[in-house]
Structure 1
Amino acid sequence: MTGNFRLKTAMAERGFQQAELAQAVNAQLLAAGERDSVGERTVRTWLTGRTTWPHRAKRNALEAVFRCTIETLGFYPPGSPAPPQEDPEVIRRRFLADAGGTAAAAMPLVSVRPSSVGTSEVIRLRDSIERLIALDDERGGHTTLERAALAGAAEALDLQQRSTTQRVRARLFALASDFTSTAAWSLIDAGQLDGASRHLDRALTLAVMVQDPEMTMKVWNLRAMLARQQKDFGEAVAAAQAAQATWAARRSPLHASLAHARTAVGLANAGDRRAALRSLGRAEDAMAKADTTAPRPAWIAFYSPAELHSLTAIVRDRVGDPAEAEAASYRALAALPETYRRNRAHTTARLALSQLHQGDVEQACDTGAEVFEIMAGDPLPGRMRQLLGDFHRDLITLAPPRIAHEWADRYRSEWSTA
């Protein structure tokens, strides 16, 4: 016998393949609040005996999965002798005895093979997140949306502990990632950036755990947006390039277009005009190849030629082409669906900036005022308030003081309480 035969026996008794054991261990790590995770390669090092004493968190997770001590599973600390080779039947009986004994009873367990959870729960949770995304499209990010998304993630993780199939567990982990990244986006849009990074770290862990390309790209896309809000433009570019490298972007022109457009925004903010326009061209080329009528995941439903025009306006304004930015904003507004109220208001604010940067002060003030009309009845998300703050600061710089003060006085109550 070679390698860790006790672990092989325990896996056979539980019906685990390497990938399934990795997922079960990851579930225990996540339930314990650990940020670490394992994959099939790690499981192979356990089975071959290359790793004889996993890290503490992984040892605890293995004990919880198999309901026995780590020594029963054939592991031993450095400097200790390896367990003696024994007859497979003896090992099996010891494992079964230990797994049902007092050592396991004392452990806080997450059940691995309990009552069935199936596709109906996956569909229900998917419908729930689609409703949250639709609410965000209309109103923008807010703390109520964050709480609802985190509750959905918690439910998905709870259900995966009670699932009996690897396929359903993977879908539930992916949904947990989707919910958690949606919570992160709600904070980004609300301008509450501190908690967003923590949510994105967890969402990425969940997505990578089950190798879900859609959720992996969603997280990198949001990471690029968060870094730009934090004015860390180097990280914004790196995150957007990571989105480009995902399998989702490699196989889908629509996803690729979004990743290139996000890269262009980061490069424009970093002051690299040539590279920004080159990335923008790639985004346009990929969009021309995309089938915009085909079904797509809810998280990327917002991205369309209209949204690309909006991102083009940002890039063009940042690299010093305000006239081109104004034209792109008008194209975006003409194509945006009426239900995308937050996007329409945001693009209108960008239009006002491009007009101001061309010296059209009165027109820019009138356009800026339209933002409040579009969002009437709902508070402005923090990200939109910040954009209007940029408009006001540029107005002070570029317009006569009287006009800047009049605009601020007229809209201060709606702006400051939004």
Structure 2
Amino acid sequence: MPGTPNHALAAWMDKQQVDAGDLADLVNDALARLTGAEGKASERLVYRWLSGENQWPQGKYQQALVMVTGRSITDLGFVPRSGGTGGPAPREGRVKRRAFFTASTGTVLALAATAPAAARPTVGTSDVLRLHGELARLYAMDDEQGGTTVLENAALGLVEETRGLQQNGSATQKTRSRLYALAAAFTATAMWAAVDSRRLDDAQGHLNSAIHLAGLSGDGQVQHQIWRYAAMLADQRGRYADSVAAAEAAMNTRAHRTDPLYASLSHARLALSAASAGDQSRAVRAMTRAADAFGRAELARPRPASMDFYTLGELHGLTGITHYRLGHGENAEFHTHQALAALRPEQHRNRAYYTAQTALAQLQQGEAEQACATAATVISEPAATGRVSHLLGTFTASLTMRAPGAAITRAWTERVRTA
């Protein structure tokens, strides 16, 4: 008899972009490492776990699931029989998971160096999951430190590793598509780091490679990410028609059509591009559509780590920037304050960025003293580099233009000089 569907296991699979066949393969790989014998998990068994027909796997499958996921068996949504336990503790599971993926990858890379073409090592789901973990680590590094050359080089190193697996390993078509998607995402991360550091020529080179890899992957979520980045880069280079076209390309992806959260981000990006291009009516329409789509989104739905940044606070931030570009200083300040209030503690770069945007919005309203006080909280921050430093330069130029001989302008200029 069917039981209660296992939503926790389904959520983990969705987050990791793993289907039933993939999970069966991972469990069998783990069983082989645990017991030395080939595992016999099948797609049908995984479907029984998901449907709730099998609510408590056999002991060997429990151990394998903990090794693969790094979570306890009860955290995966399984219900103990009377007197049962939840399996290994989460920390023990995470240690086993790291060992499992490290061992799997080490074997592939070692064999790839010496194996003839007919005997190339198999690249599979465990490699894909490990690389997804590396991608999440890069996003966390960006949140904390912003776009740095360290982040860029780490991303490019992972591009080479991913392409090495693609070239030297034997893989199914599905795995190859996932590897192309990962290579595109790593390249896009390098591009983002270059943009954040205001090295726009380097960013353009990375973007060209990312577009090529995303096209080979056929992954609509990665393609959406790449076109968003393309819109942002074109905007920063003053190519506003290209920026609008790239934002429209993001809206043509499957991710935009099927997930309101992606649609919201597409519209928010289009609003920014349209505002830069001087199309006020289109920018306002896009802001409205971004808010409407966000309201329809299932925020708890598992998504790739590349979307973790897009919260209601981030929507407020992008809306605030759009209002600033349209000359709506009061609205811009309201939304950037909302963005700052919603940021997570580790988002140091975004906090510096939206604080600088708030200062610009205040200056746009003629509040020079308040604007300087706001900007002063950013000027000595470690995150005040790249785009943030560029914003502070824009602030200084705007202040000088608005009040060239004022005491507040002289004081601010001196503060910048000695910072």
TM-score, reference length from structure 1? 0.70
Number of residue equivalences: 303
Residue identity opposite 1:124 in structure 2: R
Shift of 1:399: 2.5
Which of residues 400, 406, 411 is equivalent to 1:406? 411
CA shift digits 1:12-34 (9 cap, x unpaired): xxxxxxxxxxxxxxxxxxxxxxx
The 1:367–1:271 alpha-carbon spacing in structure 2 relative to 1, beyond 3 Å, is same
The 1:359–1:241 alpha-carbon spacing in structure 2 relative to 1, beyond 3 Å, is same
1:202 aligned partner: 209
Shift of 1:334: 1.3
Residue identity opposite 1:253 in structure 2: P
Residue identity opposite 2:272 in structure 1: V
2:166 aligned partner: 160
The 1:163–1:337 alpha-carbon spacing in structure 2 relative to 1, beyond 3 Å, is same
2:399 aligned partner: 395
Matched, 1:234 2:238: no
The 1:410–1:218 alpha-carbon spacing in structure 2 relative to 1, beyond 3 Å, is same
For 1:247 and 1:140, how far apart are their aligned partners in 2?
29
For 2:127 and 2:370, how far apart are their aligned partners in 1?
52
Which of residues 227, 230, 243 is equivalent to 1:220? 227
Which of residues 327, 336, 345 is equivalent to 1:338? 345
For 2:130 and 2:262, how far apart are their aligned partners in 1?
25
Aligned ranges 1:104-253 → 2 under 5 Å: 111=117, 114-161=120-167, 162-253=169-260
1:365 aligned partner: 372
Residue identity opposite 1:119 in structure 2: T
Bigger drift between 245-254 and 295-304 goes to 295-304
Shift of 1:116: 1.3
Aligned ranges 1:55-70 → 2 under 5 Å: none
Identity over aligned pairs, percent: 45
For 2:377 and 2:234, how far apart are their aligned partners in 1?
28
Residue identity opposite 2:231 in structure 1: A
8 Å Cα contact 1:146-1:183 kept in structure 2? yes
Residue identity opposite 2:393 in structure 1: G
For 1:190 and 1:324, how far apart are their aligned partners in 2?
28
Shift of 1:117: 1.8
Residue identity opposite 1:390 in structure 2: T
CA shift digits 1:87-131 (9 cap, x unpaired): xxxxxxxxxxxxxxxxxxxxxx99486111222221211111111
Residue identity opposite 2:171 in structure 1: T
The 1:286–1:110 alpha-carbon spacing in structure 2 relative to 1, beyond 3 Å, is farther
Shift of 1:338: 1.6
Shift of 1:408: 2.3
Which of residues 243, 264, 268 is equivalent to 2:275? 268
Which of residues 283, 300, 303 is equivalent to 1:296? 303
Shift of 1:368: 0.4
8 Å Cα contact 2:349-2:383 kept in structure 1? no
The 1:413–1:156 alpha-carbon spacing in structure 2 relative to 1, beyond 3 Å, is farther
The 1:194–1:413 alpha-carbon spacing in structure 2 relative to 1, beyond 3 Å, is farther
For 2:117 and 2:319, how far apart are their aligned partners in 1?
50
CA shift digits 1:293-326 (9 cap, x unpaired): 3222111211111111111111111112111111
Residue identity opposite 1:248 in structure 2: A
8 Å Cα contact 1:204-1:215 kept in structure 2? no
Shift of 1:163: 2.8
For 2:351 and 2:383, how far apart are their aligned partners in 1?
15
Matched, 1:277 2:303: no
Stretches of structure 2 that go unaligned for 5 or more consecutive residues are 1-114
8 Å Cα contact 1:243-1:249 kept in structure 2? yes
For 1:213 and 1:112, how far apart are their aligned partners in 2?
33
Bigger drift between 395-404 and 167-176 goes to 395-404
Greater gyration radius: 1
8 Å Cα contact 2:159-2:183 kept in structure 1? yes
Shift of 1:136: 0.5
Shift of 1:288: 0.7
1:105 aligned partner: none
TM-score, reference length from structure 2? 0.70
The 1:327–1:379 alpha-carbon spacing in structure 2 relative to 1, beyond 3 Å, is closer
Shift of 1:211: 0.5
Stretches of structure 1 that go unaligned for 5 or more consecutive residues are 1-108
For 1:379 and 1:335, how far apart are their aligned partners in 2?
18
The 1:413–1:300 alpha-carbon spacing in structure 2 relative to 1, beyond 3 Å, is farther
The 1:123–1:406 alpha-carbon spacing in structure 2 relative to 1, beyond 3 Å, is same
For 1:111 and 1:203, how far apart are their aligned partners in 2?
28
Shift of 1:380: 2.6
SS at match of 1:281: helix
Residue identity opposite 1:269 in structure 2: S
8 Å Cα contact 2:352-2:383 kept in structure 1? no
8 Å Cα contact 1:116-1:163 kept in structure 2? yes
Shift of 1:410: 1.1
Residue identity opposite 2:243 in structure 1: A
Bigger drift between 241-250 and 285-294 goes to 285-294
